[in-house]
Amino acid sequence: MFPLQRGRRLRTNESIRSLVRETTLSPSDFMFPMFIAEGENVKVEIPSMPGIFRRSIDLTVKEVKELFALGIRAVNIYVKVSENLKDNTGKEAWNPNGLMQQTIRAIKAACPEMIVMPDVALDPYSIYGHDGIIANGDVENDATNDALVKMAVSHAEAGADFVAPSDMMDGRVLRLRQGLDSAGFHNVGIMSYSAKYASAFYGPFRDALDSAPKEADVVVPKDKKTYQMDYANRIEAIKEALWDVEEGADMVMVKPGIAYLDIVREVKNAVNVPVTVYHVSGEYAMIKAAAEKGWLDNDKIMMEQLMCIKRAGASLISTYFAKEAAILLKK
């Protein structure tokens, strides 16, 4: 007996497949992470991330204009801080004339409609490479939150549309919301890294910013596992996302991406705000390395992974493939 229902009828050719396709991608689904360097006319490729560069502000602005023309509407920015500006307080993070603040102003002046979401965490500013202030051999949660509020307000003063706390300190979303509101920035949003796992996939990113934990003359945690999440846990991610929404987060993030799609779906089902997914540096680097060897097709794998992240529930995908994918979609 032949089946009455034949799934292949809806797969006959690309035209019918496109008619019934459940998930689609567009450049406006992407956010591009950008690394900022001091100086002028500086463009340095990151060895572990082929095609990704640290750029000075002038070249960053040029790149932002190109991204906007391709339909990308958001950038997530990180700064490479000079060693002489690092300490255990992170005070350079709220310097009104700091590299991050200058970059925000320059992007918003050149491309006002581009949504700028600067990173809020102390690791680029820390002599120890941690996301907070070290005291008594660990990251001091509440003192770090005080510093993060100063940092976020300085970003808002520079023109940021959203602040993006990636530190995973307890209670920081509420403190940031209160701090922004008290300073008059009621319309500056918070995209919280709610479920940020202690992952080995971040290696190339830490090379880009020199933000890995360092040996020191005082006792410091050897890694970030006392504040980033254990990758064995699922329910904890839902709890963290719900807490952040209750504290005032406008968006929540799951990080990393492809290896955590079960978490993306769980969080999407649990919250009533947009879910961002960070397709991280290690995931990017693996594809690039395999493609260089001829083992994988870069474009096909890139688009498949991005589609899978969107299918899992992402409203926005922060990805180093944003520009490549946008160009491909435009074709």
Task: Give ∠ CA 249-196-244 in degrees, rounded to 5.
Answer: 20
Q: Which amino acid appears at position 179 of this protein?
A: G
Active site residue 196: yes
* Cβ pair 107, 60 in contact under 8 A: yes
Strands 43-45 and 53-55: antiparallel
Integer Cα distance of 24 and 180 in angstroms: 35
Enumerate the β-bridge partners of residue 34: 77
Catalytic hit among 86, 108, 224, 255: 255
Task: Give the distance, in angstroms, between the CA of residue 305 and the centroid of all CA atoms in the same chain.
Answer: 17
DSSP at 77 = E
- Cβ(30)–Cβ(75) below 8 Å: no
Contacts of 6 (CB under 8 A, 6+ apart): none
CA-CA distances (angstroms) from residue 194 to 10, 87, 234, 251?
A: 38, 26, 12, 9
Query: Is 65 annotated in the active site?
Result: no
Active-site residue, from 86, 108, 196, 268: 196
CB 320 within 8 A of CB 49: yes
Residues classed as catalytic: 196, 255
